[in-house]
């Protein structure tokens, strides 16, 4: 039996068909971002989700405040002084993101892309085969020509602030990270190496392994919350222990009085022994 012979054109078409079949699962994986911040009672808190084929694959809830230093001219028109802009995530921010098995990310933009906060997540195995996820990188792009926050900025333009070698919010795989306390990160800006501060609070995040649509998996509480909870409980525990000690002391004293009252009383005057 003679082998099949293909022309150059037919071979190219066949190669394209095979390549298309290999890429078809990726093409079908449609991912979209959704802003659900209107569901929050806290006006400073944002709720953002990335969905793949109609199912939530990444979800973030937090309140974020950014402190961004920038230069302005001093009154003498020569020297530069540093001011600080304070920004927070608005409810109307635009959302994009991607979901993967070991890497995911979310991009939150507002003010016509004058500001973009990008958060990158990754999975990894640690000692004893423990699988965790973490925030591996945070990046903030900002435009100092945007005058609602940057007033009289010197040499305005776009800058990018990023973290380096970040390992934050480390959480067991399959669980969400939950923390009420503030978590602070410092980003280094392309604007003369200035430090941009990102403060997150009232956080719940899960970038992988979400079992139910729009529902976080079992939370893993941050150490700060656990410590604060212990500090809140400690006075109650100490008060309970002190109250228990008082009750035991009073009970022993009452039992002692009752026991001594039942014993015969010996006369103290020796002359009374003659009548006994």
| Biggest alpha carbon–alpha carbon distance for the chain | 140
Torsion angle defined by CA atoms of residues 227, 230, 234 and 236, in that order, rounded to the nearest 10 degrees: 140
The whole-number pLDDT of residue 259 equals 72
State yes or no: pLDDT of 227 exceeds 70.
no
The whole-number pLDDT of residue 146 equals 96
CA-based torsion, 123, 98, 198, 43: positive or negative: negative
Min mean pLDDT across 9-13, 46-50, 150-154, 196-200 is at 9-13
Higher pLDDT, 58 or 227: 58
The whole-number pLDDT of residue 21 equals 43
State yes or no: pLDDT of 4 exceeds 70.
no
Q: List, as one string, the DSSP characters of 204-243.
A: EEE-S---BTTB--SEEE-HHHHHHHHHHHHHHHHHHHHH
| CATH 2.40.160.110 for the 29-228 domain, yes or no | yes
pLDDT in tens, 228-266: 555 455 466 566 677 777 777 777 767 767 777 666 655
The whole-number pLDDT of residue 225 equals 60
- Residue-averaged pLDDT of the chain: 84
State yes or no: pLDDT of 73 exceeds 70.
yes
Q: For the residues 191-199, what does the mean pLDDT come to?
A: 96
Spans of all domains in the chain: 29-228
Q: For the residues 17-34, what does the mean pLDDT come to?
A: 56
Task: Name the residue among 107, 138, 105, 132 with its Cα closest to residue 121.
Answer: 105
**C-beta separation of 123 from 70 below 8 A:** no
Both structure tokens of 256: 């002692």
- In eight-state DSSP terms, residue 255 is H
């Amino acid at each position: 039996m003679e082998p099949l012979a293909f022309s150059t054109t037919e071979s190219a078409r066949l190669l394209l068909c095979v390549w298309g079949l290999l890429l078809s699962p990726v093409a079908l994986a449609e991912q979209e971002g959704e802003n659900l911040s209107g569901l929050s009672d806290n006006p400073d808190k944002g709720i953002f989700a990335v969905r793949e084929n109609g199912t939530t694959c990444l979800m973030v809830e937090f309140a974020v405040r950014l402190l961004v230093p920038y230069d302005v001219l001093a009154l003498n028109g020569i020297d530069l002084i540093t001011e600080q802009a304070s920004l927070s995530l608005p409810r109307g921010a635009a959302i994009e993101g991607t979901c993967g098995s070991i890497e995911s990310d979310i991009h939150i933009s507002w003010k016509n892309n004058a500001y973009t906060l990008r958060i990158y997540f990754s999975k990894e195995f640690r000692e004893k085969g423990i699988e965790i996820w973490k925030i591996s990188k945070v990046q903030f792009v900002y435009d100092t020509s945007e005058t609602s926050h940057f007033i009289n900025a010197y040499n305005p333009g776009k800058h990018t602030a990023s973290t380096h070698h970040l390992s934050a919010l480390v959480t067991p795989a399959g669980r969400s990270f939950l923390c009420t306390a503030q978590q602070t990160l410092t980003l280094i800006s392309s604007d003369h190496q200035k430090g941009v501060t990102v403060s997150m609070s009232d956080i719940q995040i899960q970038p992988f392994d979400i079992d139910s649509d729009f529902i976080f998996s079992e939370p893993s509480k941050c150490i700060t919350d656990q410590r604060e909870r212990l500090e809140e409980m400690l006075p109650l525990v100490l008060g309970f222990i002190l109250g228990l000690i008082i009750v035991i002391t009073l009970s022993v004293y009452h039992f002692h009085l009752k026991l001594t009252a039942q014993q015969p009383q010996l006369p103290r005057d020796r002359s009374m022994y003659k009548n006994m």
